[in-house]
Structure 1
Amino acid sequence: MLDRKAFSDLARKLRSSTQARVIEAADLRRYSRWKIGGVASLLIEPNSVDDVRRVLAVLAEVPCPKIVIGDGSNLLFDSRGLDGVAIRIGAPLSRIKIEGNTARVEAGSWVPHFARAVGCSGLGGIQHTIGIPGTVGGLILMNGGSQRKGIGENLVSARCADMRGDVREYTKADCAFSYRHSALQDKALVVLDAVFELTRGNAGEIRREMISIMAERRRKFPKNLPNCGSVFLSDPEMYGVIGTPGFAVEKVGLKGLRRGGAQISPLHANFIVNVDDASSDDVLWLIHRMRTRVHEETGFWMDCEVRHVAPDGAMRMAHGSAAEKFANATVGV
């Protein structure tokens, strides 16, 4: 593990050999939709696709934890911080090129911006993503979407770099998309850009559909407090018997439950909101309580969409971290 001087030396090397923005002692709360997290030793924002490759080549020689993040919408950073490097794929990598029914987009593009861009060009197929806060790269990795659709339905291919900076193109078949999952999640890869095949339609109708989706999201979901969106995945088997995760949590009486600065949203019970400087442990405690209580009452285990990032860089589904931390705790309600 590197000490502070070694991270400072690494920062100088990155500044001299790449065009990336390099931040030492980065406050991860600034990069979290939950506004939760400690300090990362380094945070790096590459300036271009080629810059990503250069950054990865430098980091490949360094024995420290490395994580890749986008908009932080499906991550819970640990309040103890990250003793390593966070590589952020963001706004500098957000170019969009539309030709005919095809769109090539860089991985740092904000999803609502991408959806609007193709919609205004009269292209449909990804309207369902309009309200999803996050980057295209992150959405591809988890096959994100809404209305039980996934972005993978329209993907043709994605270019990804491994942690040495070597680039390979992955086809839709290579990605093996399933509900909120892709094979890319199981590999140490950085999505660089992707090609989508879309459907020609009427720009006005597409725009009206997206406005309707946004209005519905504003009505149903909490917007005024920091949150990561849906905490638990909607399992098709559970959905057919019980309903959505939010409905299940509400039925077992946990809607509105608070622990420290975190609360199960009184508006939608599949959201956890940061009401007062919540810690990662506050959120993990609530996740464990929601999951175990629903299992006790229904027999179904709910799995998280959210991933917890530990101080050593280990990234795992948040319900796993929650169970490990609170399995033997007395949780009360």
Structure 2
Amino acid sequence: MNRPLSSMDQLAADLTRLSGGPVVRDADLRPLSRWRIGGPAALFVEPTSVEAAIATLAYLADKPVPRVVIGDASNILFDDAGFHGVVIRIGRALSAMGIDGRRVHVQGGMWVPQLVRRLGQCGLGGLEHAIGIPGTVGGLIVMNGGSRRKGVGEQLVRARGCDGYGVPFERDHAACQFRYRGSTLQDDGLIILEAEFEFEQADPAFLRRDMISIMVERRGKFPKELPNCGSVFLSDPAMYDVVGPPGKAIETAGLKGRQWGKAQLSPRHANFIVNNGGATSVDVLALIRLARTTVHEQTGFWMDCEVRHIAPDGRVRPAHQAAELA
């Protein structure tokens, strides 16, 4: 006699059909995390097309199970308790790219350094500043990521995707309202599946030299040998004018190199928290709270986090908010 499927078995079977890819049960989140931190996810799925991604999220819209969408998880802190729902990754299966003159169409799962190198080879300039950012195009757009105080939104023409319920959207540049490390796409919790850019023609040799220079600068300044998520705290222009960037403020506060458990404010750059092996989300949140409160006591400025903490029940919030409750 055939036994009836459990609700989780049925969910996994349906997601396998809709996503076009395998569904992993009790998936270890640590390999997905740039910090190598996190417990297991009940289910993990990676849709194989734009249509599959929308169908997957639409199917989950009325299901009583938490869900979260990630890219390369380069600005995410998973909880030690894992995630009691479905993790949907917009990954390499959604990384197609097309070039038509200065117009470039890219899917949201493309790896940012790969996109920047391809643009450079084609003599298309404007995104070189992002060459060292280890994330996906979708995540970069949502937070208007970049370096050298530039953002990817400067070149974006149009973004397409869906919300967390699978409802499609399309926004032009003006509607995205890009700001420093933010946008209305982020405010509204939207998921980028496709984007259209326009770049400037430039000499490929010049672009290559510029990218090499940026990478050399990053290697000398930022810790690369230990797991980390990049910059933890956002640079606030008002604080920058008085105190300097977060890394300098943390160092001036005497916290550079400070450890908590197996996590450490990097001795190389204090705005990076590194995993020295076996660090937990509790360790990281404790360091965030320590750095934030100490800098505030000394300067009067609160440093907010660029990193997002994902709770087991599906809540996603800036890590400093989670640190206050830890």
* TM-score, normalization by structure 2: 0.97
- Corresponding residue number in structure 2 for 1:268: 269
Give the C-alpha shift of residue 16 in structure 1: 2.9
Distance 2:144 2:325 in 1: 27
Question: Any conservation in 1 of the 2:18–2:52 contact (CA below 8 Å)?
Answer: no
Task: Give how far 1:295 is off.
Answer: 0.6
Q: Indicate yes or no: 2:107 matched with 1:106.
A: yes
Q: How far does the alpha carbon of each residue in 1:151-181 deviate from its partner, in whole angstroms, 9 at most, with x for none?
A: 0011001002123323221111111110000
The one-letter amino acid of 1:168's match is F
Q: Is the 8 A contact 2:19 2:45 kept in 1?
A: no
1:81 paired to 2:82: yes
Structure 1 residues 62-114: Cα deviation after superposition (integer angstroms, max 9, x where no partner): 11111110001000000001111111000000111111011110000000001
1:329 corresponds to:
none
> CA 1:12 to 1:213, structure 2 compared with 1: closer, same or farther past 3 Å?
same
Alignment of 1:33-182 (within 5 A): 33-182=34-183
For residues 18 and 149 of structure 1, the distance between their equivalents in structure 2, rounded to whole angstroms, comes to: 35
Whether the 8 Å contact between 1:124 and 1:199 is mirrored in structure 2 is: yes
Q: Is the 8 A contact 1:20 1:51 kept in 2?
A: no
Residue 278 of structure 1 corresponds to 279
Query: Aligned residues, how many?
Result: 322
Q: Cα distance, 1:129 vs. partner?
A: 0.3
Unaligned runs of 5+ in 1: 326-333
**1:128, 1:210 within 8 Å by CA — same for their partners in 2?**
yes
| Secondary structure in 2 matching 1:308 | strand
**Deviations along 1:2-26, whole A, 9 cap, x unmatched?**
xx94222200112234413311111
The C-alpha deviation readout for 1:216-238, integer Å capped at 9, x for no partner, is: 00000000100000000111111
Amino acid at match of 1:7: M
Asked if the contact 1:160–1:170 (Cα under 8 Å) also holds between the matched residues in 2, the reply is no
Deviation at 1:51, TM superposition (A): 1.1
SS at match of 1:228: coil
Offset at residue 262 of structure 1 (A): 0.3
What is the CA distance between 1:209 and its match in structure 2?
0.1
Letter in 1 for 2:153: G
Structure 1 residue 188, shift from structure 2 partner: 3.3
Instruction: Name the CA distance, whole Å, in 1 between partners of 2:254 and 2:6.
Output: 50
Equivalent position of 2:26 in the other structure: 25
Instruction: State the alpha-carbon separation in 1 of the partners of residues 210 and 18 from structure 2.
Output: 46
Matching of residues 254-333 of structure 1 within 5 Å? 254-325=255-326
Aligned equivalents of 1:165 and 1:322: distance in 2? Answer: 31
Q: Deviation at 1:288?
A: 0.4
Q: CA deviation at 1:131?
A: 0.2
Contact 1:155 1:195 in 2 (8 A): yes
Measured after TM superposition, the shift of residue 275 of structure 1 is 0.2
User: Cα distance, 1:58 vs. partner?
Assistant: 1.8
Asked if 1 retains the 8 angstrom alpha-carbon contact of 2:19 and 2:46, the reply is no
Aligned position for 2:195: 194
The alignment partner of 1:273 has SS state of strand
| Alpha-carbon distance in structure 2 between the residues aligned to 1:41 and 1:20 | 16
In 1, Cα distance between the equivalents of 2:125 and 2:59?
Answer: 40
Alpha-carbon distance in 1 for matches of 2:97, 2:277: 38
CA distance in 2, matches of 1:120, 1:262: 39
> Is this contact kept in 1: 2:108–2:193, CA < 8 A?
yes
Query: Aligned partners of 2:137 and 2:8: how far apart in 1?
Result: 29
CA distance in 2, matches of 1:198, 1:156: 10
Query: Once structures 1 and 2 are overlaid, which stretch shifts more, 210-219 or 17-26?
Result: 17-26
Find the residue that maps to 1:92 and give its secondary structure. helix
Is 1:215–2:212 an aligned residue pair? no
Compute the displacement of 1:323 (Å).
Answer: 1.2
Q: Distance in 2 between matches of 1:279 and 1:86?
A: 20
* Separation in structure 2 between the aligned mates of residue 17 and residue 206 of structure 1, nearest angstrom: 41
Q: Decide which moves more: 54-63 or 240-249.
A: 54-63
For 2:23 and 2:166, the matched residues in 1 are separated by 18
Instruction: Provide the identity percentage.
Output: 56
Q: Structure 2: which 5+ residue stretches go unaligned?
A: none
Determine the C-alpha separation between the residues in 2 that align with 1:233 and 1:166: 30
